[in-house]
A = this chain, B = another copy of it.
């Protein structure tokens, strides 16, 4: 585990997002900020996972296709630099599909059905027995993504650790077949940031539910989202003592406010009574407006030049095509299929 982030050597990092909606504050604290930090030191690739996005959206493909450039604009807006980070599009890398096919023969259906992440996602999405094959098998496709770049380090939330276990199982099987080390096992890079709750305090943040604050949110949307945020339902009068735990406003203050000392003072005040939600929300709103204003402005600017966004994806995909083709060659060699 790399909670300590004690990375002394240059690592090959693969990370990415399903292109199923604009990115939000949860992505920002959970991964995007970290990526901006990592890009200067490590060899980082970000995969815009359009094909993975289709695994549960095939009947509504616009949800994926219409978000590809949005996601790229999100990256640039938060400071991902295409000169330092390779940004590429999954559907532009045929080697990943081919690797998925080869790896599929090394993983059993029952192993996939035991995957805790997939299990809970299947439950959340209410698939029951009508799970699309592509959805049940997406851990194999993710293993193709990771190994296709020879990634040594994969930033994940701890709910994603079973994905890396599955990847490393495949790596070991391929290496055993080869009788030597063809593929690299990867390590997780766990984010220090705790998972950001949804603004309603109820669910995991969802791109499809209006319980998030998108990176491109307008001033008004931010204001409304903060105003409607879940606090302490028993904190009825300002003078009453209030609960800070589970109070989404404080969780967001912890995550985003630059002055920890000041947030601690607010918490104490709130706990002993006399501090209203209106005030804490005002502090949070100011802070979020300040963080999101430049991101929103850059985002609009980038989205105004779609040709540039496409060019970034083309160049990144070209570089990535070479890398992933090299790995595919090695894997096909293990199966004896490089006969010409």
Seen from chain A, the residues whose Cβ lies within 8 Å of a Cβ on chain B are 50-51, 54-59, 61-62, 64-66, 68-69, 89, 91, 94-95, 97-98, 100-102, 104-110, 112, 129-137, 140-141, 177, 310, 313-314, 332, 334-337, 339-340
Contacts and interface: CB of A to CB of B under 8 A. Distances in A.
A313 B62 CA distance: 38
A141 B339 CA distance: 22
B337 A91 contact: yes
Contacts of A314: 340
Contact of A51 (B68, B101, B112, B136): B101
Given A54-B105, A91-B337, 4 more contacts: A57-B105, A61-B177, A108-B131, A313-B339
A91 to B, nearest CB: 5
A58 B177 CA distance: 9
Contacts of A98: 91, 94, 97
A140 B131 CA distance: 15
Contacts of A132: 104-109
Contacts of A50: 337
B133 A137 contact: yes
Contact of A105 (B101, B102, B134): B134
A65 B337 contact: yes
A140 B313 CA distance: 29
Residue of A56, A105, A335, A337 with most chain B CB atoms under a 10 A cut-off: A105
A314 B130 CA distance: 40
Contacts of A107: 132-133
A340 B318 CA distance: 12
Contacts of A105: 54-58, 132-135
B91 A112 contact: no
A130 B102 CA distance: 17
Contacts of A109: 109, 129, 131-133, 136
A35 to B, nearest CB: 23
7 contacts: A54-B102, A97-B97, A101-B141, A108-B130, A108-B131, A108-B132, A109-B131
A65 B338 CA distance: 9
A94 B94 contact: yes
Residue from the set A59, A133, A335 with the largest chain B CB neighbour count within 10 Å: A133
A133 B110 CA distance: 9
A192 B89 CA distance: 48
Contacts of A65: 335-337, 339
Chain B CB count within 10 A is highest, among A131, A135, A339, for A339
Contacts of A106: 58, 132
Contact of A137 (B64, B97, B104, B130): B104
Contacts of A95: 94
B332 A91 contact: yes
Residue of A58, A101, A106 contacting most chain B CB atoms (<10 Å): A101
Given A91-B332, A101-B100, A68 B134 contact: no
Given A132-B107, A137-B137, A336-B61, A97 B101 contact: yes
A9 to B, nearest CB: 33
**Top 8 A-B pairs ranked by shortest CB distance?**
A65-B336, A104-B134, A58-B105, A94-B94, A105-B134, A97-B97, A61-B335, A97-B98
